[in-house]
Amino acid sequence: MATPETHMTRRVRDNPVALARLTGAFYLYIIVAGIFAEAFVRGTLVNSGDAAATAANITGAESLWRIGLTAELFMLAADIFVALLLYELLKPVSRRLALLGAGFHLVSTAIAGFKSVLLLAPLMLLGGGDYLQAFGQQQIEAATLFAIKLHGQTYDISLFAFGISCLFKGYLIYRSGFLPRVLGALIVLAGLCYVANSVLSILSPAFASGLFPWIMLPCLVGEAGLTFWLLIAGLNKETWMARAEVQRA
């Protein structure tokens, strides 16, 4: 049964390879910005066992902390584009499963938006406003580290929804015919690792910490592989258009 076309649907239909490469470009930004924010900002400024040192580090490198937060905000925008573009690209395989994949992806993005807000807390707490005079320095430092740790826990929760979305998208990629099956299998594996990491971080934080970053390695391999394939090769246009024609019939 034919369905009304959206403007984005027409754009994808007219040039799916270009849209695939655009998806890869957004995905690449997410990977690079995520590594920058985690490794070069929080990795250098946050001491998880020393609230005073963490507060001093952030105060001494406030600009770097703000840059990291800004990078995360742009990641949220890029993530929304990736979710919508992948829905359009994978819709010819199964509209319902593509919609489920996009839905869980956007839920993950919404949770990630909340975790980004938590990174404002250290700036507000360490800013020295008059409303903070009721708190001692140690209390402010402890609250700062608490907000950062809560950011990490919220991130783990967001990855649960994202992992489920990867299961749907990986399956669709595997069945698509216009993207390599191995990429679909890797994305499914990434989804399983994301879900496992999120569940373990709640049930057994110490055990999850011991598995990290090994449990996340398949995620990086799968998502990086998909990113560079989309960015460089795009997709098989003829196969994609043949599937799209069948769906519109």
Q: What is the pLDDT of residue 130?
A: 72
Q: CA-CA distance, 231 to 142, in Å (whole number)?
A: 43
**Which positions of the chain have pLDDT values less than 70?**
1-14, 249
pLDDT in tens, 2-29: 444 555 556 556 689 999 999 999 999 9
Residue ranges per domain, the chain? 16-248
What are the structure tokens assigned to 194, written together?
Answer: 């994301």
What is the three-class DSSP state of 94?
coil
- Contacting residues for 143 by C-beta, under 8 A, at least 6 apart: 121, 125, 135
What's the burial of 129, exposed, middle or buried (CB within 10 Å: 0-12/13-18/19+)? exposed
CA-CA distances (angstroms) from residue 247 to 53, 93, 115, 242?
Answer: 58, 8, 38, 9
Assign residue 15 a region (left: φ > 0; alpha: ψ between -120 and 50; beta: otherwise): beta
Sequence-distant contacts of 200-207: CB under 8 A, at least 24 apart = 201/153, 201/156, 202/156
Q: What is the pLDDT of residue 48?
A: 87
Determine what percent of the chain falls in helix, strand and coil, rounding each to the nearest 5. 85, 0, 15
* Angle between helix 62-90 and helix 137-176 axes, rounded to 10 deg: 20
pLDDT in tens, 195-213: 999 999 888 888 878 887 8
Burial 196-215 (b: 16+ CB within 10 A, else e): bbbebbeeeeeebeeeeeeb
**Residue 34: closest CA among 83, 77, 68:** 68
